[in-house]
Each structure stands twice: as structure tokens, then as C-alpha cells.
A and B are shown apart, each in its own frame.
Chain A
Amino acid sequence: MQSTTYAGWAGDIGALCRALATLEPLAASLGAADPAATEWHGQLFGKLAGQVAREPVLVAAVCGGTNTGKSLIANSLVGVPMSRSVPEAARTVHPVASLPRGLAARIDLGGLFPGFTPVAWTSDADALDAAHADRLVWREDPTGRQPERLILLDTPDIDGTLRENWHRAELVRNAADVLIAVLTQQKYNDAAVRDFFRAAVQARKGIIVVFNMVDWPRQRERLAGWLATFKAETASAPLAVYACPHDFAKAEAGRIDFYAVPELSGTAAGAAPDAPADLAAALAGSDFDRLKREAMRGALEVVLDERAGAGSWLDGFEDRARGWQAARQVLADDARVRVELPTAPREVVWNEIWAWLEPRRSALDLTVSKAYRVAGSGVMWAARAIGLARSATHEREDFSAREFRVLSQALTDFIARLEDACRRDERLAGILAQRLVQADRSAWYADLERRHAALPIVSDDFRAFVRGELDRFAKESPEMVRWIVHGLNVGAVARPAITVGLGLAGAAVVPAAAATAGGLTTLVHQVGDVVVGTAATLMGEGALGLTMAGLKPLLERLFAGWSAERGRVLAETLHDVVLGDAVEELDRLATAAARPEVAEARRLLFELKREFSRS
């Protein structure tokens, strides 16, 4: 056995299988063609992977449509009844393998026939047991006549109403080197039969045609026409052609006669034209090595095929991934909302600044400031009493209600944008529609409300952020701090606006406060347009020109940090509840083409092509 011709491919085939197996689950998500439905996949995983490094045995399988007598023919080849032949169609649901003696101990049948669970034969009814799925029943040849490197199989049908049978037959076909095609005058030109054997021919498996149930010898002259049609449809050149006369009584008794039809197969030598031939002997005497080599080369050829091989599948994979990149861009561009938060209560920033300034101010400053505050609170009390002003608590409640309304509206807006994006891009629809349609949206709003209610107006995070910023500012601009200390001002208010959206990783600016909050990888707040300006100073304290270089940016930063923290409530609801893992999934798909396995698979295909052309 010249196993070296293809044993050398083993390393690359194994690595290629591993790389492609990693990509397969991704392919389904990407919407790329299902590799399991392709011929190259069947040949790679169903034949090459299991056989390239194993002991070279020839796998011959009897295949054909329902009730064409496959089991009878298989039993005849083996010489003992291994698979029961019954009058009802499509009863063989599991392939049955006859192994030469001693092979079962040496070989891993599960690896040789992927997709099946090998089960030892107990009776000829095993193949009919519909209670179990995807079994491969095996039996060692009790007669001892089976050649030591030949495995013979009976397979389920390829055209019946049980589609599982088709699949099992295809798995056996993929693993096989030689197919014994059982044809009848009713079925030799059925589309399902043609398609099945055409795929085998493309993978250069040997085909032995057996015309069964022939009205012998009346129909002998018809065989040439039938065979010509079969050959033209499947592009096959059968190794041999046999005819089995229709004999109901013999079939009932489990016997069948094969007649060689040398004028059709071109093998003129052999038995006398009118004497039954021994197909089993002919099979045993064929050149196993050549057939095996051909079938292995044929399988690799299918994998390497430019138009329909693994490479073309990878092209489709990358193409789909590019589509997902575009989809992600659509989402990044469209799914963002600008949130105009209500005017922030002044004290959110100023109180923190006062607290920071307190230890830095003189006793006089503090006394004056306190006097102003006492006077101010007196004025405020009077204003509240006559209904001109509201209490701080009420103001905060009002602010909180207004702010929640704005956030809730932004959430609505965001959902509408997601819906629009789904309408524009069907990929996004595929990944998001389920969430947008199936989810209980009232739970989203409830989540937002809960998070908002739990967020204090000034959080510890923000306090720390303000102190940090002020310390940094004081170090950089000590003069400015003196100005603040001496010339007091409470007049700055901010009308913050933030944009909440889905940013491509690395493309977005994450403000300090949000960054320290953590937990947001893809969702970011882009803070902009925090307009800080002077408002009429109610308390009449000293004014400080806010246009003075240096201070405005500081205040903007402080308000921006605060706004970002408010917006984070919305971002978290969007991320945790609305989108869930959809964003991560989208990232995964958009970056699928850049996976190292894709490049690795391409390299391995190139290597294999080189080795194939050398061998």
C-alpha cells in the first residue's frame, strides 16, 4: 500500500479541520452557507480527516433508492445475512458494516465513520431499529472470506420520505471509496439518485453499477440505454456493470444472481455471458490501493476545488463578515441619541467647589460668605412662603422628574433608531429584531426608572472626581485659585447635552467619570456641548468673569463629568437590558474575517494544493 502519497497530508488536514471547525459556529451566525451542506465539508470531515492517517482500508458501500434490494445485494456480497431484507420500503435506517476479522480491534470505527455511533451487530434486524439515531451497526465477517482490508456496508435509502436516511447514506458515501450503485428501471434516472451518485463521482469514488430487478434477459438490451443516461447524468465511468434478474422467489429466500454485462463496462474477460458472476470475488480482486488513492485524491480535489471547495466557502465567509462590518457601522452611525438634560442644579458642582475651597479661605472670607448665605436663605424662605420659589427638596424632585422624562424619551428615541437601523440592514434585524420584538419593553423603562431613582444627585464617584480635578487645577493654576477664593461666584449654571450611542471600540472619548465607573466596553457616552454660562446671581455674591482663560474649561469638565454620570443610567439600561449581548455578538461577527483561523485555513489550503500537485 502506497499510503505515503496521502499520509503526508495528515498534518495539514488535521490543522485545516481544526481551523474550519472553529469557524463553523461563526458561519451560522454570519449567515454564511452551512458548510455541513457542502460536498467539500463531507469529504474533508467525513473522509480525509478520518482516513488520512489511519490504516488504509477500502470502504465499499451499497447505495440506492428505497426498495431496490440494497440489503439483499449487501448480504449476498458478504455471504451471510447481516441486514434484513423486507418487502416494505425504507426500512433499513442504520448502515450495517461487515468488517474483516480482527479489524474491529485495530481500528476506531467512530473516527472512520464520523457522525455515527458504532454498535456491535446482534441480529439482522439491527438495521431496522428506528428507535435509535445515527448508529452504525458493525459485524466481523463470520465466514472469514472477506479480504482483510475491505469494509462492506449496507446503507439506508436516498430518496424516501425519511430524510434522516438520506443524511446517513450521505455520511456513508462520503467515507466510502467504492459505491455499489443499485439502480432499477424505475429509479436509474430519478433526480435524487442522480444527485447522490454524481457527488460521489466528483469525489472520484469508484462506481460499480448493479441494475436490479431486471426482467432478464428481455431487458438486457435496455441496459445500454439506461446506463448511458446514468453515465451522462453523473459523469461516471463505472468500474463494472452487473444485472440482477428479477426473481421474487429467490429474493424471498435471500438469494440473488449477478450477471456481468461486459459489453457495457468494457471488461470483456470473465465469466461466460449467461452464467452468474461473482461480484464479491470481483470486488475482492480489485486494486484496493489504486481505488483508495484515487478516492483520497478525489476527496482532496473536492476540498481544493476553486469554485465549490473550502476556499470558495471561505470567500463567502469573509464576504458575509464584511457585510457585518457594514452593519456595525450602520449601528454606530445611527443608533445614538443626543440627550438635552435639564439645567443642572447649581449646587451639584458649586457645593463641591465650596467644600474644596473651605480649608483654603480666610476667616473673614468665611464670615462674609456665611453672612451672605444666612441673608440668602432668609430671602429664599420669604420667597418660598409667598409661592415665588420652591424649596430645595421640591426643586430636586422637579429636577429628578424632568431628568427622568428626558432619559425616558431618549430611551424611546434610541429604540426607534434601532428599529430604523434594523429596517435598513437585514443583518441587524436578524440580531436585534428578536430583542426588540420579543422583549417586554415596559421592563426596559422600569429598569431605567429604577437605576435613575437609585442614583444620588451627587455621587461619591463624582465628589472624588471633582476633588481630583480641582487639585490638578490648583497645581496647574495657583493664581486662578486665589481669584476664586477672593472673588466669590456662584453664577455658573450648565445646560448639559450628552450623546449616548454605540461607539466602535477606541473611537470614542470616554469622560473621566464614566471611565472610573467601568463596566462599559462598547457603550460610551460622548459628552459634548456642555454650555457653561453665567446666570443672574441671586445671592449677589461677587462675580468672577467666567470667560477668564482656564476656569471655563475646568467648569465645563466638572459639569461634563456630572452629566456623563447622569447619562450613564441610560447607557447602562441600554447595554444591560435593551441590547444585552447583541453588541458583543455584533462585534464578534464584524471581526470574523480577521480571525486568525481564516488566514490559517487559507495557508493550509495553499499548502495542500502544493502537496496535491506534487503527489
Chain B
Amino acid sequence: MTEASTGSAAAMSAGGGVSGFDDAAFDALGADLAAWSGSLPEWAAARRVRTAWEQVEPRLDRARRELSRVLVVGVIGGTGTGKSTLVNALAGGVVTAAGDVARPTTTNPVVVAATDVDCSWLPLDRLQARVVRSDSPAVANIVLVDCPDPDTQSDHGPAADGTARPSDANHNRDLLEAVVPACDVLLLVATAQKYRSWIVARELAAFAPGRPLFFVQTHAARDPDIRADWHRELEGQGFDVPRIFRLDGVEAARRSAAGLEPEAGFRELVTAIDEELVGRAARRVRRTGAVDLADWFTREAVRELEPVRTPVADLAAGVGRERDRLEKLLATAVEGRLRASRSAWQRLITDELVDRWHGGPFAMFLHVVAGIASFWPRLRSAGGGLIGRLLAGQSPPAGGGGTWQTVEELGLGEADVEQSRSILAGLAARARLGEPLVGRARLDEAAVRTSVGTLLERTAAWLAAGIDAIVAGRRSRLESPVLRGVCEILFTGLLVAVLVRAGWNFFYGRLWSGRPVEGLAFLEEALVWVILFGLALRWLVFARLRMGLEGDIAALVARLPRAKLVDPLLADFSRAADLTGRFVARGDELASAAASMRAGLADGATGLGRLRGPSPS
């Protein structure tokens, strides 16, 4: 940027900080707004915020960089309200055509600046503007722009019937819209006939954000004083209006040209310009304008996001609901399968236990029974699939993605998942969310492989850990040496009794008393009793193992939601709800930061108005 004038340098050098303005905080806010507005380009609502930001950012940036430059004051208003006459009065001579010969009088912007002010930074060619130099003290430290009117250019373009009209060549409003972005401050001129003009109000609403304004009623010599009513009208349009100047431009220009003492209204305006737009005040105006603009932008952005606020919350709640539904299906199926596989559980719990139980007759008995049982065909196995494999002590199937068939035993069919996704797709559409942030109800093959594969892996790991924990808990019940000892003693007791009886028979009965030996019949009978007793003992031991298994399964399944197993199936919706929710919340935070920054600014200006609320629709 080319810096401002030498003439204004003296005034600028006196420029300092603005009371209550924190440069670092403002820069941080700007950076935060830039980061926030561009943080979610995939979301339509956020894109609109971004588009608005792209309009605002260069202005904020310029306000920061061009802090010392003289202010550009755009004189705007309807045709015939005396803009050019006022500009001439301020310039102290005829610098722009004014009068009542034809409407509109001004068709190209006229830039009025002091001789020593460099205007090369203004895109004069693009604005089709003409520069005029003036030595008038009123424009010594500002650049004044006589803007074209907004009300003579037709809204509809050329006539529908094809007939040519003189106004077809009128592009005043287009030119106005090109020139106002270069202005820092607006000076709105109105008359009794035009202060309630709809088209002026529309243009003003578009330009006013971040631009302080002077309001001036002209034609004071002819028109009644309408300032009270205009004040009400402007307040209704969302403006803060501390003051409306009233003057007669024709009279002011006449006196100015003749070197006479200016009339009171005009003098007040010149004083206000000098006090509020020059030197330190210029910095204040620019900074206040920048904060106003940031504040306006955040409020507009929040307003823009308002319609999607509830839908975004609904989507988050919907994700939670559908996750619960799928988890319930999963839990029901898993619990059913685990409960139905009693023999598999028993084998799993007892096999290893038996392996590790050594050193006694009862242990030997258990091994023998296990050995025999291993020949028994597994008629009622837990079947294939994930749960079957885990309960059979095998590792879960290796990765390689998943298919719907692989998770069907877990209670999650394609239809169930698609139902959830379709419901969420509806909620997402309400929040203006679509691809690529969220996918479609039906997952494509690759997505099925990935998400179902992840689901399968997570479920396998969680189930394996859960089953291991249950099994370990069960086993620990039999790890006690006392229990083992009691079992061994009970079993060994019977064996000892049998042996003692056999010894008694032989040594006492046969050798001592001379009774005949009872033969093998006794031993056969004893063997049967030993087996029956062993089996009964085994049943008791295993019953102790089985007791409460269902409760353990229920407890395991109750912990299922914590494992977030079904999340991969709804991952896109869950992520989108999270991102959009955070975007909306961040917008609120930034709006409140901008509002408090605006509230913290000491409003030194007394004559400058500003757009307070959102622009009226």
C-alpha cells in the first residue's frame, strides 16, 4: 500500500491508540474468524459463512494495514438531494457538476482531495472516477468522494418490449456499488422527499456494516425539518443515530465560494468532520469501524447458522439414538449366543482347569474323564462364526475386511444398519449436510469392507477379552488349594476305604480268620462306586463353576456400549454431527468475543452513526 499524504502526516503522527482497543486481541480475533470460517468447507452452511467472510476479510485486513491513511468519505444519497452541491461547498468551489438541469447530474464518481494527498492507492480507473484537487481546509485531511445516486438506474434492465429508453445507459447504481467499498466513512445526504426512499435504504443496508456514518438533511432553506422522523426511520433500520446535521447546500456553496462565514449547519458538519475524522480520530474511526465490521460479521454468521442450530443438535441426538439401537441389537444377539453355548463355556472353562490340576487321584480321575469325553462328537458345538470360535478357544478370524454375512450372527443385518443410516441421512439433510461429509444410507462395497471389518475386529477383541475375564474369574474359584485338597481327600477317602476293605478281607479275613477271599466281584462293585462318586464330585465342582455364569454374561453385555463397537457403521454421521456442532458453538464464542470487544471500545465519536443491528431484510 502506498502510504498517505505528507499533508496529513503531521496529523497522523499525533495518532495514537484508541481507548479500550487491544491490537493483539483484535488481530487474534481476525485470525480466529479466518480459521473458523474456513474450517468446514464441506458444509453448505459453513460455506455461506466463508463467502461472507471473503467479503469482510479484505476490509479488516486493510483497516489493520492502512491505519494511518486519511479516511475516504463517500457522499451518498438519492438523486437531487444535493450531494454534489454539498461536495462543492466542502471543496470551496465547483469541483463537480451540480444543479437542476437534468437528473441524474453525477454519473461518474468525483474524488476530491488536498493537493498533497496521494490518491494512487484508489483504483480510480476501475471506479471510472475523476480526481479534483482542493485547498479547502474542510477536505485537507480527508478524501471526499461524490458518489453516483442509487435511484435512477432501473432494477429491471432494458424494457421487455424492446423499446430503447435513455435510462438503459444508466449504470449509476453499479458505479456506486463499485465505489463505496473504497470508502471508510459514509455521509448520507437526504431531503424531505427522499429520506424514506426504499432503494436508498436497501443500498445503505448493504454498505453500512463497518462504516461509520454522518447523516445530513439538505435543502434546509426549502424543506421542513424532518430530522425527528428520519431519526425514527433510521433507528427502525437498525442504525445508531447520535446526530443528524441540517444545512442548505446551495447556500453553503454560495457562501463558501464568496468567502463568507458559513451558515451554522454547514459549520457544524465541517467541525464534526475535523474532530471525528482527522488525526487520532481517524485511527479511532478506522478501528471502531473494523471492530464493528467484525461484530456485524459474527452476528450475521450466527444468524445464518440459526436455522441449522437445532438440526445439528438433532443429528447429534439421532446418532446417539441409532447407536443405542444398533448396540441393543448387537447386545441381544451376543447375549443370546453366549447363553445358548453352555457346553462350549464348560469346555472352555474346564479344559484348561483339568490340564492344570495334577498330583492327586481325583485329578487323575478328571483327566481320564476328559480324555474319554474328547472322543465324544461335539454334537452341540457352539457352531462357526466369531462367538463359536472364541468359545472354542480359537483366535478370531484374521482381518481382510468384513461382509454383512460375517456380522449377521452379531444381530446386525444390512437392513438394520441401513435403516439407521437412512434416518440419520434425513437428519443430516435437515442440517444441510450431504456428501462428502456424510455418506449415503447404503454403504458401498469398500465402506462395508472397512466399517464392517472394523466392527468385527473391535467386537472380536472386546468379546475375547470379556470371555477371557469371565473364564479367568470362574477358574479362580477352583484355584483354592483347600477346595482341591477337600476334593482330593474326599475322593482319596473312598479309594482308601476300598483298599482298606480289600486289605482287611485279605489279611484279617483270609489269613487270620480263614474266610475265603471275596474275589473280583467286590472290586468291580467298588470301581462303579468310585466312578459314580468321582462323577458326582466332578459335577459338584463344575456346578460351582457354572453358578452365576448367566449373570457374568449379562454384566459383560451391559458393558457393551462403553466399547463403542458399532461406531464404525455410523462414523461419518457421528463425525459430521461433531464437526458441525463445534462449528456452531465456535461461532457463538467468536460472536460473544467480538461483541465484548465492541462493548469495550470507548465510543469517543459523537456525531458518527453506525449500523447497530443486523441489516434489515
Which residues does A use to contact B, with CB under 8 Å? 65-68, 87-90, 157, 159-163, 166, 184-192, 194-195, 198, 213, 215, 219, 222, 225-226, 229, 232-233, 235, 246, 248, 307-308, 386-387, 405-406, 408-409, 411-413, 415-416, 419, 433, 436-442, 445
Contacts and interface: CB of A to CB of B under 8 A. Distances in A.
B197 A225 contact: no
B384 to A, nearest CB: 15
**Which of the listed residues A198, A225, A440, A442 has the most CB atoms from chain B within 10 Å of its own CB?**
A442
Given A194-B154, A307-B160, A187 B423 contact: no
The 6 A-B pairs at the shortest CB distance, nearest first, are namely A186-B80, A409-B415, A405-B415, A87-B224, A189-B103, A89-B196
Given A229-B103, A232-B165, A387-B380, A192 B422 contact: no
Nearest to B100: A185
Contacts of B429: 419, 433, 436-437
Nearest to B233: A161
B426 A195 contact: no
**Which of the listed residues A68, A185, A235 has the most CB atoms from chain B within 10 Å of its own CB?**
A185
Given A87-B192, A160-B196, A406-B415, A233 B426 contact: no
A441 B318 CA distance: 11
A184 B414 contact: no
Given A88-B229, A307-B160, A439-B426, A186 B193 contact: yes
Contacts of B358: none
Interface string B378-394: 01100000000000000
A222 B101 contact: yes
Contact of B151 (A163, A192, A413, A439): A192
A412 B415 contact: yes
A512 to B, nearest CB: 29
Nearest to A235: B163
Contact of B192 (A67, A235, A412, A433): A67
A108 to B, nearest CB: 33
**Which of the listed residues A189, A413, A419 has the most CB atoms from chain B within 10 Å of its own CB?**
A189
Interface residues of B, number: 59
A336 to B, nearest CB: 16
Contacts of A416: 422, 440-442
Contacts of A415: 422, 425-426, 441
A160 B419 contact: no
**Which of the listed residues B102, B197, B414 has the most CB atoms from chain A within 10 Å of its own CB?**
B197
B196 A437 contact: no
A246 B221 CA distance: 12
A89 B426 contact: no
A219 B80 CA distance: 14
Nearest to B166: A232
A245 B195 CA distance: 22
Contacts of A189: 79, 102-104, 152, 167
B576 interface: no
Interface string B157-188: 00111010111000000000000000000000
A190 B415 contact: no
B407 to A, nearest CB: 13
Given A225-B102, A233-B166, A405-B415, A191 B193 contact: no
B416 interface: yes
Contact of B226 (A87, A408, A445): A87
Q: In terms of DSSP, what is the predominant structure of the interface of chain B?
A: loop
Given A66-B193, A89-B226, A186 B78 contact: yes
5 contacts: A68-B193, A191-B167, A226-B103, A416-B441, A437-B426
Contacts of A187: 80, 193-194
Contacts of A225: 101-102
Contact of A190 (B151, B165, B226): B151
A194 to B, nearest CB: 7
A184 B193 contact: yes
A161 B413 contact: no
Given A89-B229, A412-B441, A191 B192 contact: no
B422 A191 contact: no
Contacts of B159: 198
**Which of the listed residues B80, B191, B226, B440 has the most CB atoms from chain A within 10 Å of its own CB?**
B80
B197 A159 contact: yes
**Which of the listed residues A66, A248, A439 has the most CB atoms from chain B within 10 Å of its own CB?**
A66
Contacts of A191: 151-155, 167, 199
Given A161-B197, A187-B194, 7 more contacts: A66-B197, A88-B229, A159-B151, A166-B198, A189-B104, A189-B152, A409-B419
B149 to A, nearest CB: 9
A295 B419 CA distance: 65
B422 A412 contact: yes
B194 A445 contact: no
A306 to B, nearest CB: 10
Interface of B: 78-81, 100-104, 151-156, 159-161, 163, 165-167, 191-199, 201, 222, 224-226, 229, 233, 237, 321, 379-380, 413-416, 418-419, 421-423, 425-427, 429-430, 440-442
A159 B198 contact: yes
Given A229-B103, A405-B416, A436 B193 contact: no
A436 B100 contact: no
B301 to A, nearest CB: 23
A405 B413 contact: yes
Contacts of B79: 186, 189-190
Given A87-B226, A405-B416, A219 B161 contact: no
A380 to B, nearest CB: 19
A225 B102 CA distance: 7
**Which of the listed residues A65, A161, A222 has the most CB atoms from chain B within 10 Å of its own CB?**
A161
**Which of the listed residues A235, A411, A419 has the most CB atoms from chain B within 10 Å of its own CB?**
A419
A185 B100 CA distance: 7
Nearest to A90: B196
B104 A441 contact: no
B198 A160 contact: yes
Contacts of A195: 154-156
A392 B321 CA distance: 34
A416 B424 CA distance: 12
Given A189-B103, A189-B104, A408-B415, A437 B441 contact: no
**Which of the listed residues A162, A192, A235, A441 has the most CB atoms from chain B within 10 Å of its own CB?**
A441
A246 B161 CA distance: 37
Contacts of B423: 441-442, 445
Nearest to B413: A405
A89 B415 contact: no
B199 A159 contact: yes
Contacts of B413: 405
A67 B222 CA distance: 13
A405 B414 CA distance: 8
Contacts of A411: 419, 422
Given A405-B416, A416-B442, A185 B80 contact: yes
A161 B198 contact: yes
A307 B161 contact: yes
Contacts of B442: 412-413, 416
A397 to B, nearest CB: 13
A440 B321 CA distance: 13
Contact of A186 (B194, B201, B225): B194
A421 to B, nearest CB: 14
Contacts of A90: 196
Contacts of B421: 412
Contacts of A226: 102-103
B78 A190 contact: yes
A157 B192 CA distance: 14
B199 A308 contact: no
B100 A409 contact: no
Contacts of A235: 163
Nearest to A39: B160
A222 B100 contact: yes
Contacts of B196: 66-67, 89-90, 157, 160-162
A409 B418 contact: yes
B247 to A, nearest CB: 17
